[in-house]
């Protein structure tokens, strides 16, 4: 029942290309891949892989014959063939004389028999060629191919309808050499052979205007553009199989794939309870399959991979932690990954250290470097409320009252604390895409409360 359920979920989500759907689809892919890998590993150790029958059984029997018999048989067959050729060459005059002295009927019968034999040999050769080049059963003749072939049939998705040589292509010389070495060495593991070039993948997955499905134009997706159009020397010769073939016939990348040597190493999740989560694919948080405009730069593609509120709130735990979150109030427009780094931060409040990565021009702001605010310049959360207005003015009076009570010579002047709150206008409001806010933000300071001495609040409307 799990298979049909996952299929129905994928199909219903596939009807929409929204990022939220991408996030859930990525989660489903991750769980399916993890579960499929575990089941496949268990199946490999308990039951035999479902290998094809018919001619493939004969091939497996021949390839399974002991090595000394195979080598001896090849030597004997070669010796017999050479002996027959030499014998026919030495007796060629006698053979021609015998043929000339036969009757017309016998000569025609012999010629017809020879033509039939040559035709049969040609037909057998053609069928053998087609079988070896286009039938996946031939590849199962090698005993070490049992598990990979079974895995390909069970978890390759739409790839399971392909022929081995649709992806794995090499010269006849290379194939013959590989066959000879297999007979001589009898390896227990599949050696590197017939590498899959990017061109093979692109023949199906990069069709441009001819492609109707998302998988037919993968280079339009943020993740692929970020990796294949990057000017990084490390990604110069990137191969599709680096991510999609790190484990044989496992095409859905996992966290282990992304963290392989030379890539995103040491990128374990450390933030809060997320660190205790079972492994899921990186695409759950990073919208790898998000479509971006054709003119977008690789850097823009990288920004598109940054986790947003749509990915983060796809987790029910985050929905409970941020019940009042409104993206239209967020000056960062719901781009969670611009502040929170789950691979470096251990607590949500660690994100405050990331402010300077964007706001690095505070030296040009008199408000921040003035004598009254210099000492709290690096304490951003003193004035700025996360996930909400650019400045929460409700607590300004809290600091100003404290200064006034200390009796300084030039105490701060009272002001309208709600003025800043009323100025919170996002691009969503100005374009009319969302209704304007009717209720002010809940203050987290003391600015609009009664003073400690029972008097009216300082400022206010």
- What lies within 8 Å, CB to CB, of 149 at 6+ separation is 49, 51, 136, 139, 140
In degrees and rounded to multiples of 5, residue 221 shows phi and psi of -95, 150
pLDDT level of residue 379 (50, 70, 90 thresholds)? confident
Q: Measured between alpha carbons, how far is 311 from 308 in angstroms, rounded to an integer?
A: 5
CB 140 within 8 A of CB 237: no
Instruction: Return the pLDDT at 436.
Output: 35
Q: Measured between alpha carbons, how far is 396 from 403 in angstroms, rounded to an integer?
A: 11
Instruction: Return the pLDDT at 90.
Output: 93
Instruction: Return the pLDDT at 79.
Output: 96
Full DSSP string of 166-206: HH----HHHHHHHHHHHHHH--SSPPP-S---HHHHHHHHB
Cα 39 to chain center, whole Å? 21
Residue 443 pLDDT more than 70? no
In degrees and rounded to multiples of 5, residue 178 shows phi and psi of -65, -40
User: Could you give the C-alpha distances from 182 to 130, 189, 249, 435, in angstroms and in order?
Assistant: 21, 11, 21, 70
- DSSP letter for 441, please: P
- DSSP letter for 371, please: T
pLDDT level of residue 138 (50, 70, 90 thresholds)? confident
Q: Whole-model pTM above 0.75? A: no
Residue 444 pLDDT more than 50? no
Domain boundaries, the chain: 12-47+206-305, 49-195, 322-430
Q: Which of 36-40, 106-110, 236-240, 345-349 has the highest mean pLDDT?
A: 106-110
Tens-digit pLDDT profile for residues 167-215: 888 888 888 888 888 778 877 777 777 788 899 899 889 888 777 888 8
pLDDT level of residue 333 (50, 70, 90 thresholds)? confident
Q: Which of 68-82, 199-213, 332-346 has the highest mean pLDDT?
A: 68-82
């Amino acid at each position: 029942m799990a298979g049909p359920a996952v299929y129905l979920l994928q199909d219903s989500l596939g009807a929409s290309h929204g990022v939220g759907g991408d996030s859930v689809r990525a989660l489903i892919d991750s769980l399916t891949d993890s579960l499929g890998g575990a089941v496949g590993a268990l199946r490999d150790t308990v039951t035999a892989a479902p290998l094809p029958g018919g001619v493939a059984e004969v091939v497996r029997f021949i390839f399974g014959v002991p090595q000394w018999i195979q080598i001896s048989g090849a030597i004997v067959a070669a010796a017999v063939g050479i002996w027959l050729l030499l014998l026919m060459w030495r007796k060629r005059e006698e053979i021609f004389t015998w043929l000339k002295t036969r009757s017309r009927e016998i000569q025609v019968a012999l010629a017809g028999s020879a033509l039939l034999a040559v035709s049969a040999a040609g037909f057998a050769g053609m069928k053998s060629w087609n079988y070896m080049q286009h039938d996946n059963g031939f590849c199962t003749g090698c005993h070490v191919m049992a598990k990979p072939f079974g895995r390909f049939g069970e978890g390759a998705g739409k790839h399971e309808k392909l022929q081995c040589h649709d992806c794995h292509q090499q010269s006849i010389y290379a194939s013959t050499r590989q066959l000879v070495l297999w007979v001589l060495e009898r390896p227990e593991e599949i050696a590197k052979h017939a590498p899959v070039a990017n061109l093979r993948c692109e023949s199906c997955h990069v069709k441009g205007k001819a492609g109707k499905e998302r998988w037919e134009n993968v280079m339009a997706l943020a993740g692929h553009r970020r990796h294949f159009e990057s000017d990084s020397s490390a990604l110069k010769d990137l191969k599709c199989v680096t991510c999609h073939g790190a484990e044989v016939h496992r095409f859905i990348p996992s966290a282990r794939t992304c963290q392989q040597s030379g890539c995103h190493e040491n990128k374990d999740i450390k933030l809060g309870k997320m660190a205790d989560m079972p492994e899921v694919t990186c695409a759950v948080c990073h919208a790898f399959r998000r479509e971006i405009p054709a003119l977008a730069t690789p850097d823009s593609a990288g920004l598109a991979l940054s986790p947003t509120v749509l990915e983060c709130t796809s987790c029910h735990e985050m929905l409970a932690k941020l019940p009042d979150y409104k993206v239209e109030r967020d000056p960062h427009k719901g781009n969670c990954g611009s502040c929170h780094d789950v691979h470096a931060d251990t607590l949500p409040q660690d994100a405050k250290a990331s402010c300077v990565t964007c706001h690095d021009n505070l030296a040009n702001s008199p408000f921040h470097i003035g004598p009254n605010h210099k000492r709290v310049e690096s304490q951003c959360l003193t004035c700025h409320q996360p996930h909400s207005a650019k400045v929460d003015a409700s607590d300004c009076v809290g600091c100003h009252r404290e200064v006034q009570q200390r009796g300084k010579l030039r105490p701060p002047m009272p002001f309208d604390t709600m003025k800043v709150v009323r100025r919170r206008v996002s691009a969503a409001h100005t374009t009319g895409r969302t209704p304007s806010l009717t209720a002010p933000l809940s203050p987290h300071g003391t600015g609009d409360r009664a003073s400690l001495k029972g008097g009216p609040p300082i400022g206010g409307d």
